[in-house]
Structure 1
Amino acid sequence: MIDAIPAVLLWAVTLWRARSAFRRPQRLSLWLAFAALAVAMTVRPGAIASAVDEHLHVTNLTFLIKHICGTVAAASVLTFVADMAESKAGIRVSRLHKAVPVVAVVLLAACFFATPQPHEAEDLLADYADHATILAYGVVWTSYLSAALLSATLLCFRWGRRPDSGLVGRGLLLIGTGTAVGLVYALHRVAVLFIDYLGNSPRGENVNHALSTDLLFLALLLIVLGSTLPAAPRVLARIRAHWQLVSLYPLWRALTDAVPETRLDTPPSRAADAANPLRTHDRLYRRTIEIRDSILTLADHAPAELRGRSYDHATSLGFIGAHADITTEACWLAVAREERLRGAATGSGEPMPPASGGRDLATEIRALITLSTAYRSRATQDFLRAHLEETPA
């Protein structure tokens, strides 16, 4: 179960970044790193690894898949950091970091298929440590991993400490910390490999596995956090916009059901609307317009007498100032909606400025959320109920 957490997290990040990665090629290397890590962590659990090996009829093939994915991920992170350093800070980086991983992958495959493997291993490097080819396999993998992570760490800290780097710089520092932890992980694997090859392990196998797992998970977490940090303001803005969109749904649906011509599209259910993450800002902008258009239309069903009674009701409950104005508007809106749904003719309602509103979209949204809360309040529902009892159907 614990092994599933990083896999799910990595797949979530991979899917989230997929669209922007293919639209902006400079982000493709980082997306490839997460995709490779997601594949590696997916086949990491023993049950899944055994099933994949059995299906493909190659013993321990998932170990090769994991290590190749690890190599690709390390190379991709290094490429991402190197490209960023070159574009932002003018630091020139050797192009060898693009050729060396290809050689490393070829050597890994050659060593793997040159080793007789009669049984499934719990840990390929430990269980077959007495084979020279597996020793070479481990040396190639950990050497490249260590070199790539060391280079990435140095670049991250070199550029991330620049005073003008902002959130990108802080993200690079987190990535650099993650690659440093990954470097410790790689060195630990090297130490375990050589100790097992000599046939003398001072720590138990379970302890070594647990330590490796903890280091790997910590490195992945820091890299994910560091790569996500620069996008945090946009993510938070999108979450806030989605919350506002969901908050306005009850008022929007209630008013536009009475004035359907103000709606551009067929209204979704509340659950479908809340579950839709697409075009959040566009939908929110459209929703505010449709609510205001509906209010203008319903104002024709709100004569001065109704507005006066609404205000008296609000003040009788102790509301004053802006709160009284908003409650008043909510009360006459509720009655006007019912009158329109009944098919009543328009009254002598006069255009009135909104009780609340904003000069820009942000303040307008806040005002409408406040109106939505007042519309669903007990004060408004009591006023509507009293009106319906007094007015024959």
Structure 2
Amino acid sequence: MTDVIAYAIIALLLFQAVWRVPAALRGQSRERSLWGAFAALAVAWLLRTGLGRAVIDRLGVVDLATLLKHVITIAGICVLLRYVTAVDGDVAASDGAVLRRVRITAAVHRIATRASIATMLVMAAVFFIVLDRTRTESPYFMARHAGEVGLALYMGLFYLYTAAAAAVCAYQWGSSARRAQRWTLRIGLTMMAVAMALAVLYAFLRTAYCAFITVHTVSMSFVDLQENVTDTVLYLVFLLWVLGAIAPATQSVIDRRRAKRTLTALYPLWRELALAVPSVVLRAPSNLLPGHRFAARLNRARDLMKLSPPPYLLLERYITEISDVQRTLSHYASPGLYTRAKALADGQGHTEDEARAVADAYWIKSALVAMASGAVAHSAPVDVPPADDDFDIQVERFVRAQAAYGRTDPETARDLLQTDVTV
């Protein structure tokens, strides 16, 4: 039964690791660190199973699987601390209130990185030199070495390291959960913080047990009870942590899909403006197979299905470039163009957001017509649509403008350029 639970936890850890492979390959430091933590801890859990121990036992070194499990766990925890430090460092860049907390985390990470190497070296030395590994009467590592001072040193170092790291993670994730705006992130961070608090409890229970069996002889029933209780706590630690990590990741997937849908809706407008004013675009739209009937679909797919940058960054770029093109077009717009476009939208029966979208669409269309017809650019903007400071509002506005843009009439747009036209 214990192996079944262990394999379930391994599957969850590997799922998280595989899920984060694309981000790790893109070279993003935070995601690479989190991927490394999941991968390392999955291997450590595999070494707890009968299969994992059997593979390592073929090397002929008694209890080598236990040493490797502990060493890999320390490495995974060290990488996890690096991830926590990186995440909080990003928050601190815009939130001075958490700067002190971040400095503490960064200091702990620096100390933990150095301490991890020393801890692993000392544990390895104690394992090979001090521990009596000829005793095999118990299936449990700690029970086999009960009464040995070397066990207290070996396990004391391991649990001190893991407890300190877990305490830092619990504090950081608990603080982040209180500041989280989205419920999915708040729930996920709370689960992860509780998991780390249980990890501290687990380390305390195991340390107390280790100290007790070093100076007292205990019955096998007591050993079994202790192992069952602490194993249950450990299972809860990893189940809560892994499932908690899935919640923010799920929100990330939702945000990614939403960004992709928005990009798809916005793409036609961005492409037309980018082709009209290529000087303000970071990367020109694809132009494969010009004139071919499949060219539009092919170019759209090539522009929107790139692995890098991520959809939300690409969306930010599109919004910025559309705004930049608007500023360029404002040098070609005739005086009062937006007012006439808004009057046209009102006259067609549109109201509120829809009226603004139609006005935006006709303003863009008219300015493009003016530029294409060879109008001389003014030295300063003559007519500019009202601006929005909020990014989300700006995205919604451009999406509505794109929907209205497809319904604009070129002749009407040309007529709007005339300052003496009454709509």
TM-score after normalising by structure 2: 0.52
Which residue of 225, 236, 240 maps to 1:214? 236
Instruction: Call closer, same or farther: CA 1:131–1:276 in 2, change over 3 Å.
Output: same
Q: Which moved more, 1:100-109 or 1:8-17?
A: 8-17
Which residue of 359, 366, 370 maps to 1:328? 359
Which residue of 326, 330, 355 maps to 2:385? 355
Instruction: Call closer, same or farther: CA 1:387–1:170 in 2, change over 3 Å.
Output: closer
**Which residue number corresponds to residue 266 of structure 1?**
284
Post-superposition offset of 1:68:
0.9
**SS of residue paired to 2:351:** coil
- Does the alignment pair 1:315 with 2:371? no
Deviations 1:294-315 (A, max 9, x none): 6447748x997x9857742443
**Which residue number corresponds to residue 220 of structure 2?**
199
For 2:220, the aligned partner's letter is G
**Which residue number corresponds to residue 13 of structure 2?**
6
**SS of residue paired to 1:287:** helix
Instruction: Call closer, same or farther: CA 1:173–1:209 in 2, change over 3 Å.
Output: closer
**SS of residue paired to 1:44:** helix
For 1:108, the aligned partner's letter is F
**SS of residue paired to 1:353:** coil
In 2, the alpha carbon distance for the partners of 1:130 and 1:315 equals 86
Counting aligned pairs with the same residue, the percent is 15
What 5-or-longer segments of structure 1 have no aligned partner? 22-30, 118-123, 161-165, 229-234, 389-393
For 1:382, the aligned partner's letter is R
CA contact (8 A) 1:314 1:327 kept: no
**Which residue number corresponds to residue 24 of structure 1?**
none
Which residue of 246, 251, 269 maps to 1:251? 269
Post-superposition offset of 1:280:
3.7
In 2, the alpha carbon distance for the partners of 1:217 and 1:285 equals 40
For 2:69, the aligned partner's letter is K
**Which residue number corresponds to residue 42 of structure 2?**
41
For 1:357, the aligned partner's letter is A
CA contact (8 A) 1:3 1:45 kept: yes
Q: How many residues align?
A: 341
Which residue of 122, 130, 145 maps to 1:103? 122
What 5-or-longer segments of structure 2 have no aligned partner? 1-7, 86-99, 181-188, 287-301, 414-423
Instruction: Call closer, same or farther: CA 1:319–1:261 in 2, change over 3 Å.
Output: same
**SS of residue paired to 2:45:** coil
**Which residue number corresponds to residue 186 of structure 1?**
203
**Which residue number corresponds to residue 401 of structure 2?**
375
Deviations 1:361-390 (A, max 9, x none): x44x5564244223233x5433449979xx
For 2:384, the aligned partner's letter is P
CA contact (8 A) 2:78 2:116 kept: yes
| Structural RMSD (CA) | 6.4
TM-score after normalising by structure 1: 0.55
**Which residue number corresponds to residue 373 of structure 2?**
345
Deviations 1:131-177 (A, max 9, x none): 449988865553223333555677899x98xxxxx869999999986
Q: Which moved more, 1:186-195 or 1:268-277?
A: 186-195
